[in-house]
Amino acid sequence: MSAYDLVIIGAGVSGLSLAHYAKGLGLRAAIIEQTDRVGGAIHTQRFGDDGSDFWLELGAHTCYNSYSRLLGILEDLNIIDQLLPRQKAPYRMLFANEFRSIPSQVNILEFLVSIPRIFFTSKERKSVATYYSRVVGKKNFEKVFCHLFDAVPSQRANDFPADTLFKRRPRRKDILRSFTLKQGLQSMTDALSREPDLEVFTGSEVVAIESRPELFAITTANGGRYSASHVALAAPANAAARLVNTIYPDLANELGRIDVVQVETTGVAVDTDVLGMERIAGIVAAEDSFYSVVSRDTVPHDHYRGFTFHFKPDQLEKEEKISRIADVLGIPSDKFQWVTNKRNVLPCFRMNHEDRVKKIDALIAEKNILMTGNYFNGMSIEDCVLRSLSEANRVFRKSSRHVSA
């Protein structure tokens, strides 16, 4: 049985950033990942063996200069010089198969009458629908803005707490306002997984966690056995609930109350010369089978263009998705150079989410278990990294170790 100070279950950005902070404290850490790749919802699909070096994001798409903790990690990894700017391009809305500019769909009079309320209307304890219907106007919200907000988490966002989607953070003036990396965002999770003295086991599904005196015993489906004084759950809430059910049933019960949704993503790449569509940053759909499309046009390539469609779950079969994509792009599907598919599991926030997180934190407060992920303070990459940092400090500061924030 391999022994560690910390075993982390899940190799998304939450688990990998936690491992980074643990290593900074001198801990021996290992990560166990169910799938055959690291990165989780950060997934850069690379295409071609012809030297084209074309890639497309199937999960997270953009980072910002307000992500100060993430930028700190990139500096630690010595890859801060790989930042690549995202070029400006317009977003379009799709109404009944017709592309329209977003401003053209807004009732300007209603907007001008409503928007001053933003200065004296609090987001606290208000849903996205309640808050934004007031500050942009009810009709504007129902026609335009609700679809824009749905596109952010790739799910219906009306019942999300209003303060979970957009957060104000200090910006670093020495960094590009919005950026990716030269080889896509997965470059940073790949770099994290390659840090010295970090062991990463992919293709290993954890099937049991046992709590023993002074340690945890972890067993995987392929026969792996690991022990650690501390264990961290960096998996989706529903998966974490299953894993701790036998040792911490109260914790599992609270985790099980967090809803999750599956986002069905299809990415396509086409030759630049076969597509007459203007260069765009993305498409927001109004009442369609998909929530949004994110384009690779903001990081132009000489030979290819790419589009990532985030479909609503269980509405279309694989071939129907291909057909819908072809209709939206206005080209036959046989013109697609590459097609790829992915499913991401995302949390579904509700108005009582903050209270649920407080209960979870109370249940783990005196235990040698760490919990991180995109279902605590928000879904952004920075939210995930901040949660990992706070968990590392919560558990290990009592042993006089502390990560600088």
* CATH code at position 298: 3.30.9
Do 272 and 252 fall into the same domain? no
Of the candidates 61, 144, 99, 56, the one whose C-alpha atom is nearest the C-alpha of residue 278 is 99
Q: Which H or E element spans position 238?
A: helix 237-244
* 147 within domain boundaries: no
- The 3-class secondary structure across 115-150, one letter per residue, is HHHHHCCCCCCCEHHHHHHHHHCHHHHHHHHHHHHH
* 404 within domain boundaries: no
Which stretches of the chain score pLDDT less than 70? 1, 49-52, 398-405
Do 205 and 248 fall into the same domain? yes
Residue 149 has φ and ψ, to the nearest 5°, of: -70, -35
Do 298 and 360 fall into the same domain? no
Q: Per-residue pLDDT tens for 6-53?
A: 999 999 999 999 999 999 999 999 999 999 999 999 999 998 765 568
User: What's the whole-model pTM score?
Assistant: 0.93
Do 209 and 250 fall into the same domain? yes
* 177 within domain boundaries: no
Angstrom distance (rounded) from CA 110 to CA 140: 7
Amino acid at 84: L
CA 213 to centroid of chain Cα atoms:
35
Do 354 and 247 fall into the same domain? yes
Amino acid at 376: F
* 120 within domain boundaries: no
Given 310, 327, 348, the domain boundary residue is 348
Angstrom distance (rounded) from CA 126 to CA 366: 32
Angstrom distance (rounded) from CA 371 to CA 168: 24
Which is it for strands 259-271 and 206-212: parallel, antiparallel or unpaired? unpaired
Angstrom distance (rounded) from CA 206 to CA 33: 8
Which is it for strands 91-95 and 282-285: parallel, antiparallel or unpaired? parallel
* 24 within domain boundaries: yes
Dump strand ranges (E) for 10-62: 29-32, 44-47, 54-57
Do 361 and 387 fall into the same domain? yes
Do 333 and 192 fall into the same domain? no
pLDDT at residue 399, as a whole number: 55
| Residues near 134 by beta carbon (within 8 Å), at least 6 away in sequence | 114, 117, 121
* 127 within domain boundaries: no
Do 343 and 358 fall into the same domain? no
Tell me how many domains the chain contains.
2
Angstrom distance (rounded) from CA 362 to CA 254: 11
Which residue do the tokens 């760490």 mark?
370
pLDDT at residue 400, as a whole number: 47
pLDDT at residue 50, as a whole number: 59
Do 267 and 340 fall into the same domain? yes
* 123 within domain boundaries: no
pLDDT at residue 168, as a whole number: 86
* 154 within domain boundaries: no
Do 269 and 331 fall into the same domain? yes
Do 274 and 340 fall into the same domain? yes
Which residues, listed in sequence order, are joined to residue 230 by a DSSP beta bridge?
6
Q: Residue 83 belongs to what domain range?
A: 48-66+77-88+260-348
Do 52 and 82 fall into the same domain? yes
DSSP state of 161: B
* CATH code at position 7: 3.50.50.60
pLDDT at residue 187, as a whole number: 95
| Residues near 242 by beta carbon (within 8 Å), at least 6 away in sequence | 252
